[in-house]
Amino acid sequence: MLKALLTSLDPAAVAAGHDLADAVRIDGVTLSRSDLVGAGTSVAERVARARRVAILATPTATTVLAVTGCLIAGVPFVPVPADVGATERAHLLSDSGAQAWLGEVPADNEGLPHIPVRMHARSWHRYAEPNPESVAMIMYTSGTTGLPKGVTITRRAIAADIDALAQAWEWTDSDTLVHGLPLFHVHGLVLGLLGSLRIGNRFVHTGKPTPQAYAEAGGTLYFGVPTVWSRIAADTEAARALSSARLLVSGSAALPSPVFEDLVRLTGHAPIERYGSTETLITISTRIDGERRPGWVGLPLAGVQTRLVDETGEPVPHDGESIGQLQIKSPTNFSGYLNRPDATAEAFDADGWFRTGDVAVIDAGGMHRIVGRESVDLIKSGGYRIGAGEIETVLLGHPGVREVAVVGVPDDDLGQRIVAFVVGDAEPQQLIDFVAEQLSAHKRPREVRMVDSLPRNAMGKLLKKQLAQWH
């Protein structure tokens, strides 16, 4: 028998006095556990008959209650990026079949009805715990080409992931978890918010994840992407303020070793690094009671199996040096891409191993190092996963663009920065704004270079590695 997914929001326990006055603090609003149960159940009553809803996932109490209500009612939701543009929004809605906006509505609601979240409404109806195999959410993520795919994530996968992380990090209800990450990806939403509601710890969302906001939050457990940590490491005073924390955790992209070392020096804490993806949730992490080695992401979590294979599928030795394609079998794995049986079939091998698309090294002790991505067309910028193809398609829709190639180039702040090489006669800033309006602001190129031609091989294929080097 599994525990309820949102364990700390058990209505009977909350009614019996297991309340917490400041369970969630976000956007100037404080919600107690009983607010979350009462207002969340009221949301559940309003969405209960929907098949699927969209939530514009701004970092607000409205989003927290919308998500809570859907999970109480067992209605799958689609977290929509807060900065979503027109093309991406239309795709997310039509592909997911969302029937309504729950909570906030974007300026263009795409003609969908609106179900409001009423902050002060309360319901004490008791819902049965939904089936653990049912879909909790459909989270969209970029591939190398085409529009983002909907990743179906079950309640069981989420519960298994949070419990495994709690074990690795000794994460308990006496923690105060702080982050300022978006609530439309695994890191901020599944780990940060749902993790807190399952474990029962206090959760503080800082708004923009600035060094100052982190320093002032007074947490014990901090989550950040490497860009956040490198900005903190560059702000001595803010970094020193984190010395009172228990654990600093980095993930979503590679934490540069110099940032790791700076954090050790300034905060007294060696950060925990962990690895995951939208499809697998978090699967590998250094442990509170184990070695924290700069540049390495740790050991598989409880229940997770990993392996390395070469191009022909043959095993690659775990010798700390040999590089192979990383595959994962895990109770936290997704149950498929929505409407894309072709892509789902391609993502798994016949024995159910998920092909992560990452290349890695494993040492004899089972420690993992992520070397990079197999494809140059998947970019990680500020911890966001962005498909070059998606940006190229949008840019080709601009009248001033004849040819385009998008690449990720190394960037001290963002890890990789999106650069578009364009043949045509458009203004670079116009093209940047065009992408921000069509996709999401975080997918905009940071730089557009107008060029006379793009490097191609004899077959006419773009030489992207060469382009990144040109830069």
Cα 333 to Cα 132, 157, 283, 460, distances in angstroms: 14, 6, 9, 38
Buried b (16+ CB within 10 A) or exposed e, 341-363: eeebeebbeeeebbbbbbbbbbe
Instruction: Find the binding residues for ligand AMP in span 109-168 (CB under 6 A).
Output: 141
DSSP string, 7-65: GGG-HHHHHTT---TTSEEETTEEE-HHHHHHHHHHHHHHHTT-S-EEEE--SSHHHHH
Judged by CB under 6 A, which of 8, 201, 344, 356 binds ligand AMP? 356
| Bridging pattern class, strands 135-141 and 114-115 | unpaired
Find the helix or strand (DSSP H, E) in which 129 lies.
none
| Per-residue binding letters, 365-384, with ligand MLC (x by CB under 6 A) | -----------------xxx
Q: Are 302 and 315 in contact (CB under 8 A)?
A: no
Please name which of 56, 15, 9 lies closest in space to residue 33, comparing C-alpha atoms.
9
Nearer to ligand MLC by C-beta: 40 or 271? Answer: 271
Nearer to ligand AMP by C-beta: 281 or 448? Answer: 281
Judged by CB under 6 A, which of 185, 329, 369, 373 binds ligand MLC? 185
Choosing among ligand MLC, ligand AMP, none, which partner's interface includes residue 67 (Cβ < 5 to 8 Å by kind)?
Answer: none
Nearer to ligand AMP by C-beta: 225 or 239? Answer: 225
| Per-residue binding letters, 25-64, with ligand AMP (x by CB under 6 A) | ----------------------------------------
Judged by CB under 6 A, which of 35, 88, 358, 392 binds ligand AMP? 358
Nearer to ligand MLC by C-beta: 37 or 64? Answer: 64
* Total residues binding ligand MLC (CB under 6 A): 24
Choosing among ligand AMP, ligand MLC, none, which partner's interface includes residue 123 (Cβ < 5 to 8 Å by kind)?
Answer: none
| Bridging pattern class, strands 247-250 and 221-224 | parallel
442 makes contact with ligand MLC (CB under 6 A):
yes
| DSSP E strands, 160-278 | 176-179, 202-205, 221-224, 247-250, 272-277
CB of 395 to ligand AMP, least distance (A): 22
Q: Are 235 and 262 in contact (CB under 8 A)?
A: no
Find the helix or strand (DSSP H, E) in which 369 lies.
strand 368-373
Residues near ligand AMP (CB under 6 A) are: 141, 185-186, 251-254, 273, 275-278, 297, 356-358, 370, 373, 380, 385
Residues near ligand MLC (CB under 6 A) are: 181-182, 185-188, 209, 225, 227-228, 251-252, 276-277, 282, 382-384, 432-433, 436, 441-442, 444
